[in-house]
A and B are shown apart, each in its own frame.
Chain A
Amino acid sequence: MIPGPQMRNAPVETRNATTSIHVAPSLASALDALAEYGAAGAAFAGGTWIMRSPVRHEPLRAHYVAIGRIPELGSIRIGPNAVEIGAAVTHAALAAALSDLPEFNVLVAAAARSANPAIREMATIGGNLATSDFAAADCVPALLCLDAEVEISSRDGCERMKLERFLEIRSTLAPGRLVTQIIVPRGEHKTAHARLPLRKAGDYPVAIVSLSISVDGTGRVRTARIAVGSVEPVARRWERLDAALIGRPLDPAHAARVAAELAGEFAGRDSVDAPAWYRVSVLPGLVRRAVAAALGA
């Protein structure tokens, strides 16, 4: 018997009877509404996190601005130097759009294996990045290893910042600001995404290793960007592992040995599905799998 979720047949009672949802027809309309609502409002993308607020015993905001029907936020532009992904692009759409570009294997795997098929049709890339309390987001480490940038817009204009910087400030973003686009540079990289859910599919990953590596003509690592998700409360790069791999032949067993030596830098997070020590202990194995996948093994 599979341990199932607790039955929640009765409607959860912490809903706010005055909550409104403005279905924005355009970006300008969304930004105007967010500015007017201020701290009482928030963007509503796929809804897969916000709609579970009552289950987490968190109150809903008074106002939401639904951004899923804004045309420019649902588009993906594949250019010669970068891919621009609208914030309301779903995981399913993202995986389909990039499936023929091997340099983005890491992002395709992250988008195509997270959650389950129905959730992937709803959950958006922007929501994945903007949800501060969601530690197990697959696309965050994938985009970290791809050196992605985030575009944030408001009625007063827009700005770009590195994803790493965005992760530092996202919980303190001023009201009225909206993630509108993710920009991912293109390059000659081998990339891979290794995740460990407790079931083969349909679960949150206990730990995630995403990597993007380039090698020289002799097969030695020239550049490396490795990111770890779900182990700590916020995904982050593993720069000591990057440095240890550069100049060495790209080899799964070697990478796993180095990862085992360096894994102590992660604190891990305890939760009901896995203890902190376990999340850290599986990292070397995930590094080995990710390197093997990047090599096409």
Chain B
Amino acid sequence: MALSLTVNGDHLASTADPTTPLVDILREELHLTGAKPVCREGFCGACMVLIDGTPRPSCLTPAALADGCEIRTVEGLATQGQLNRIQAALDTSDAVQCGMCFPGMVVSLTHLLATTPDAVREDIRAALTGNICRCTGYERIIDATLLALATK
């Protein structure tokens, strides 16, 4: 039975096995390669997407439980060609890193800005607990997030 997915506003069908990790459908079927299957264990956060508005590692989300959900990947965060606040702040602060961990960080921080508008440095660090950067580039990302929070 086909699964019904809503990805970045588009209604799509998939015939993937129900236990197929969502990240594999996003990448292999829909060619949305922003989410990266790095650890496949929920540790690294490189595959993070928003499912019904909440960050979830798409490597641990089976297709069957994404059925009917609103999924937003890093490719769908900008609206009408306009970067969202965290994307713009990361760009302005020259904090953009390689594409391995970064899409997942942008997803997690997009959620933080939406849900914790008064976040402080420690809140940002806590929100990024599940996003591992192997280049240790966290501090500039945190500074950029503080800038985004200050930009109303």
Contact = CB atoms under 8 A, between A and B. Distances in A.
Interface string B87-119: 000000000000000000000100000000000
Contact of A202 (B21, B43, B54, B57): B43
Nearest to B59: A51
Do most interface residues of chain B lie in helix, strand or loop, or is the interface mixed? loop
Contacts of B8: none
A202 B129 contact: yes
Do most interface residues of chain A lie in helix, strand or loop, or is the interface mixed? loop
B13 interface: no
A35 to B, nearest CB: 20
A117 B130 contact: yes
Contacts of A16: 19
A47 interface: yes
A51 B24 CA distance: 13
B78 to A, nearest CB: 22
Interface in A1-42: 1-2, 4-9, 11-12, 15-17, 19-21, 23
Interface in B23-54: 24, 28, 36-45, 48, 54
Greatest chain A CB density within 10 A among B44, B56, B65 is at B65
Interface string A71-111: 00000000000000000000000000000000000000000
Greatest chain B CB density within 10 A among A12, A118, A119 is at A118
A17 B16 CA distance: 9
A68 B36 CA distance: 26
Given A1-B136, A19-B19, A117-B130, A47 B60 contact: yes
B84 interface: no
Contacts of B24: 11
A88 to B, nearest CB: 12
A143 to B, nearest CB: 22
Interface size class of A (residues with CB under 8 A): 35 or more
A1 B134 contact: yes
A9 B64 contact: no
Given A47-B60, A47-B61, A117-B130, A5 B55 contact: no
A55 interface: yes
A56 to B, nearest CB: 10
B147 interface: no
A21 B136 contact: no
Contact of B60 (A4, A8, A48): A48
Contacts of A9: 36-38
B21 A119 contact: no
B146 interface: no
Given A17-B17, A21-B18, A118-B45, 13 more contacts: A1-B135, A4-B39, A4-B44, A5-B43, A6-B39, A9-B37, A47-B62, A51-B19, A52-B41, A117-B108, A118-B56, A121-B56, A202-B129
30 contacts: A2-B136, A4-B38, A5-B38, A5-B39, A5-B43, A6-B39, A8-B38, A8-B39, A12-B40, A19-B19, A47-B60, A47-B61, A51-B59, A51-B60, A54-B40, A55-B40, A55-B41, A64-B19, A68-B65, A116-B129, A117-B126, A117-B130, A118-B48, A118-B54, A119-B57, A121-B56, A122-B60, A201-B126, A202-B130, A202-B132
